[in-house]
Structure formats: C-alpha cells, structure tokens
Structure 1
Amino acid sequence: MRRGTLTPYLLITPAMLLLLAFGVLPILVAALVSLTDMNISGLANWSNVEFIGFENYVALANDPDFWRALGNTALFGVIGVPSIVFLSLAVALLLDRSDGRIARALRSFYFVPAVTGIVAISLVWGYLYNTQFGLFNWVLSWFGIGQVQWLSDPWLAKFSVALVAIWRGTGLNIIIFLAALQGVPREYREAAALDGAGEWRTTRSIVLPLLGFAIFFVTVTTTIAWLQFFDEPFVLTDGGPLGATTSVSVFLYKEGFRLNQFGYASAGSLVLFVIIATITLVQLRIRRRDEKP
C-alpha cells in the first residue's frame, strides 16, 4: 500500500481511538453490566456480581416509575424540540436582517445562556419561580392573581422546567442558524425583490429551503438533547413533585447512584440508547427521502 494511501488513515486514527474508548466501549460495558445484578459491592469485588440474563429488562418493562419517566421525557421532547427550533430560527432571521452594534450585542445576549453554568441558571430561575418571593408571582399579583405553584404543582412543574431548558437551549441554535444564513446568496434575495416578492414570500420560498440542512441538523441534535434531558429537572426539582419531572436520565441516575442498582440502571441506559438511535435513524431516513428528486 502506498504511503499516500496510508496517510488519511493515520490522521484519523487518534479520533477513532477516542471514539472507541469513550463512545463504543462504554456502550459495550453497559450492555454487559445490564445482564448482571451489579451494585456498589460489585465494584470492589467482581465475585459478588451474578449473571442474571435479561431480568433487569423484564423488571424495567414492569416498572411503573420507568414508564412514567419515559412518558415525561416524551412530553418534554414534544414541548421542547419544536419550541427551540421555531424560536431559534425566528430570532436568527430577525437578527440576520439587522446590523450594527445593537444587533451584535443581541447576538451575544442570546448566546449567554448556552455558556452559563446550569447550577447558576437554575438558582436564578428558582428564585424567579419562588412561590412567596419570586418575581413571576410578584408581577402576577399586580393583576390580582394569587400565588402560582410553579414547581410544586405536578403539571405546571413540567412546563416550568421545560421553559428553563428552552431558554437555555435556544442561544446555541441561533448561532447555528445565523451561520447558515450567511451562506444564503444575497443575489437570490435581490432577484426576488426585483420580481416584487415581499419579505415573507422571500423567506418562505427562498431562504427556508436553503436552510433545510441546518434545520435538519438542529432538529436532530435538539431531539437527542431532550431525550437525554437531565440538568434542569435534576437541579430545579430533583424529579419532583411526585415524579412529575423525572426524565429517563434522572430516573437512571437515581437508580444507579442513589440506589446502587448499576445493573438495573445500565439496562435502562441501553433502552434509552436504542430509543435515541431509532428516532435518529428515522429522521435520517426522512431526510434522505426528501432529498430524492
């Protein structure tokens, strides 16, 4: 084999090794652990670990807490994915049409939540949601509305937690859409304007079709992020009240690191991995079908 032929493989070898070490290997280990009854004692002495086959998966199928967490995750995804894609695209379109210092300042302003620590964000939002002293209830009191249990009411807590995640996740996607908008030739817009097309018609008929891949990319990555939804419900409510905001990731964390059921948690993580992979493959298939003439 020629030296020039080997060069590309040598260049990608470090990346492939990292992928195997931190991507593929953990999945294989989790699959192995999911077939055992491993707990914290098994970490110190593997002789305490017993192979139990698919009992963990059977237990998951019969666990109402797992199904509730799965339902919560699905609801979070239905709320969060369309909201983030729509809001980030709308804001990016508005910022793309503006210029100057104010526009540049707004771009930085919208990106701040993406680089701010989740603990700091949750503390601030926790004060805003505070039933007695929070800003939201203080404003509502002007209109004669009583105290709202933002994080104590089971149904309202779902939307309150989702709102924080939507606010935090929009900034990064705005930057992605702005970068994609830079690739839209200005000549197309100028030609549409000469033909008498308005701003909305130009955006709908020219700009949005050219942003197809960016919209697809944001949709896929946002879907994966919401299926792994963990930070906001864990820090704001710890999965409460009454498990109303317990996502699958929070459920797995509690089973694995609080109840020390590593085998059971690993089985749940494999189920979540299969769900994410399946949804992503479906999205890729739809994308390929739409690209065909």
Structure 2
Amino acid sequence: MALHAPEVRATPPAPPAAPPRKPGRRRRALLPWMFAGPAAALFGLFFLYPLGASLIQSFTTEQDGATKWVGLDQYRRMLDDPAFTDSLLNTGLILIVQVPVMIALALLLAGLLNQSWLRFRSTWRAIYFLPAVTTLVAYAVVFQVLLKTDGGLANQALAAVGIDTVDWLNDPTWARVALIASLTWRWTGYNAVILLAGLQAIGKEQYEAAAIDGASAFTTYRKVIVPQLRPVILFCVVTSTIGTLQLFDENYVLTRGGPDNATLTPVVYLYKVGFQQLDFGYAAAIAWVVVVIIAAISCAQYFLFGRERRR
C-alpha cells in the first residue's frame, strides 16, 4: 500500500505594512508658527504694544493725576510751539549743509580709495571707516574736549597761527558749525565705503571706452561714474537724512541742544519734554510727527528706486 505525503498548504503572504501617517494639513500649517511664535510674541510685546500705546497717549494729557482724552490738541500745540519750530529749522539747516558736503567728500574719498596705484588700500579703508564704529557718546565727548573754549585743542591750533579764540559750544553759529563738523567726521567714511562698493561694481571696460573717446578724468567721473552711482548716492542721501532726523547723542552731549536752541533737534526736544517736563502725551505726539516725516522720506526713497528699476 502506497503512502502519500501530507498535503502542505501555502501560507498566504502577510499584508504590507501601512505607511506612516503624515501630519494633517492643520498640523503642517501650525509648524512654522511654532518656530516663529516666540519671536512674534516678543516683537508684539516690545514693539507693537509700545507703538500702539504711544499713539493712544499722543491724544491724551495728564491732569490732576488722571489721564484725559484731548484729541488733536497735542498736535495743534506743536503749531504754536517755538521750540519745536526751532528744532525743525535746525534739522533742516543740518540737512541742507551737512548732508551734501558729506556726500561730496565721500564721493571724492571713494574715488581715491578705488585707485589701483594706492598702496595699502585695505588699511586706508579701515582707517576711514573706523569713526563709524566708534560709539556715539564717546566721540561726542572727544569733540567736546577738543572744542573747549579754554584749553581745547582746536583753539590751541588757532592761537598757534594767530587767530582769536572761538567759543565753539556757547555761540549759536559756532555751535552749529561744531555739530556739523562732528557729524561729517563720523559719517563720511561710512558713506565712502558704501560708494566704494558701487564704484567697484562698474566694469573697467567703461573706463577704457571713455579713455578711447578722449574723455578727461573729470569728464569720465561726471558722465560715466556718477550716473551709474545714482542709486547708491540716493541710498546714502536718504539714510543720512533719516539719521539726521533722529539726531540725539551728538548735540545732546555737545551742547544739550543749546545755546538758545541753536542745536535743538526734534528728538532732543522730545527727550526734554518727556523726561524732564514729564509731559508724556506731548512727547508722544512729537515722536509720531517725526515718524510721519521719516515715513514720507522712506516712501520717496521707494519711489525713486522704483523709477530707477523701470528705466
């Protein structure tokens, strides 16, 4: 009798493992906020909240220890405030005189630092940029010592050549001159480095083409270089203007805004109103007027750069 082997049935294959579940759409949308959330919270707490609070405060005043809503009275008050008017006029004078002189000197300095025959160019660039990294208060104190009426280095140099002593910090006219000189010293090298970067972006073939056409160095600079540097020059002018509107450290350390409000600027006046007179509502209104002026200049900058891109 034949023996038969037991029938072996094939085991069916195991079903494939289910793929891992992907995070839901809502969870994926929340992931960026999990990383940006702390920074956004800090930004709102330390920037947006004070900004909104100062705007509301500019429509209020303190009377008998209570906050009172006064609407636009604080802004109308500025129209009849001679000190605020003086601060705007002083700022306008600095803009008209100091910014063009500084940009012209920065252009000349950038052109010099771009020359191939100049040795130790990197060292010279670092030297001229050094004032920009000096702390504002430190360099203002140095100028205060240099411009002292009695024993200051500037008056000693003038006396050495037979010129009478100048009261740099106590005469309204000379105080403005001292402030403009200190600002020019600090920011000329900074703008020169920015303009130098623009100069180095201009191809050498354009200089060679101008030389072949017989253009002099001055004509090449005026007809070839300056037009191509226009966006960079505009950037330097606008940032310098914004910095001047925010001017505080230099004139406060040098002259405290005096003499006779000759060097008073809106930010120095804001500080005096807010922290010396404790009139925080009016100080907030001054701050917002400065913000509006700076915003208007920034919009002009955007418009001019946009026009450059469309050409």
Aligned to 2:235: 217
The Cα offsets for residues 133-172 of structure 1, whole Å up to 9 and x where unpaired, read as 1111112113322111111101110111111011111121
The Cα offsets for residues 31-63 of structure 1, whole Å up to 9 and x where unpaired, read as 111011159x97xxxxx3222211211211111
Aligned to 2:170: 152
More deviation, 15-24/95-104: 15-24
Secondary structure of residue in 2 paired with 1:126:
helix
Choose the corresponding residue for 2:54, options 30, 49, 57: 30
Q: Distance in 2 between matches of 1:210 and 1:128?
A: 39
The Cα offsets for residues 99-157 of structure 1, whole Å up to 9 and x where unpaired, read as 56532221111111100112221222112111111111112113322111111101110
Residue type at the aligned position of 2:212:
L
Between Structure 1 and Structure 2, how many residues are aligned? 285
| Equivalent residues of 1:155, 1:244 under 8 A apart | yes
Aligned to 1:164: 182
Taking only the aligned residue pairs, the percentage that are identical comes to 39
Gaps of 5+ in 2: 1-24
| Equivalent residues of 1:80, 1:226 under 8 A apart | no
Q: 1:223 Cα shift?
A: 0.8
Choose the corresponding residue for 2:303, options 274, 280, 285: 285
Q: Distance in 2 between matches of 1:79 and 1:16?
A: 41
Gaps of 5+ in 1: 43-47
Return closer, same or farther for 1:24/1:91 CA change in 2, 3 Å cut-off: farther
Aligned to 1:72: 90
Choose the corresponding residue for 2:213, options 177, 195, 208: 195
| Equivalent residues of 2:231, 2:308 under 8 A apart | no
TM-score for the superposition, normalised by structure 1 = 0.86
Choose the corresponding residue for 2:267, options 216, 232, 249: 249
Secondary structure of residue in 2 paired with 1:170:
helix
Residue type at the aligned position of 1:205:
K
Residue type at the aligned position of 1:97:
Q
Return closer, same or farther for 1:14/1:107 CA change in 2, 3 Å cut-off: farther
The Cα offsets for residues 171-208 of structure 1, whole Å up to 9 and x where unpaired, read as 21111111111211112112222332222222222221
RMSD: 3.0
Aligned to 1:126: 144
Q: Distance in 1 between matches of 2:296 and 2:181?
A: 26
Aligned to 1:103: 121
Q: Distance in 2 between matches of 1:19 and 1:155?
A: 43
| Equivalent residues of 1:192, 1:202 under 8 A apart | yes
Secondary structure of residue in 2 paired with 1:37:
strand
Q: 1:272 Cα shift?
A: 1.2
Structure with higher RCO (Cα < 8 A, 6+ apart): 1
Aligned to 2:278: 260
Choose the corresponding residue for 1:205, options 223, 228, 243: 223
| Equivalent residues of 2:87, 2:269 under 8 A apart | yes
Residue 87, structure 1, aligned to residue 111, structure 2: no
Q: Distance in 2 between matches of 1:95 and 1:196?
A: 24
Q: Distance in 2 between matches of 1:16 and 1:170?
A: 35
More deviation, 283-292/104-113: 283-292
Q: Distance in 2 between matches of 1:163 and 1:78?
A: 14
Q: Distance in 2 between matches of 1:251 and 1:62?
A: 15
Choose the corresponding residue for 1:184, options 202, 221, 226: 202
Aligned to 1:45: none
| Equivalent residues of 2:95, 2:241 under 8 A apart | yes
| Equivalent residues of 1:34, 1:263 under 8 A apart | yes
Residue type at the aligned position of 2:133:
V
Return closer, same or farther for 1:186/1:26 CA change in 2, 3 Å cut-off: farther
Q: Distance in 1 between matches of 2:49 and 2:92?
A: 28
Q: Distance in 2 between matches of 1:60 and 1:133?
A: 40
Q: Distance in 2 between matches of 1:218 and 1:23?
A: 27
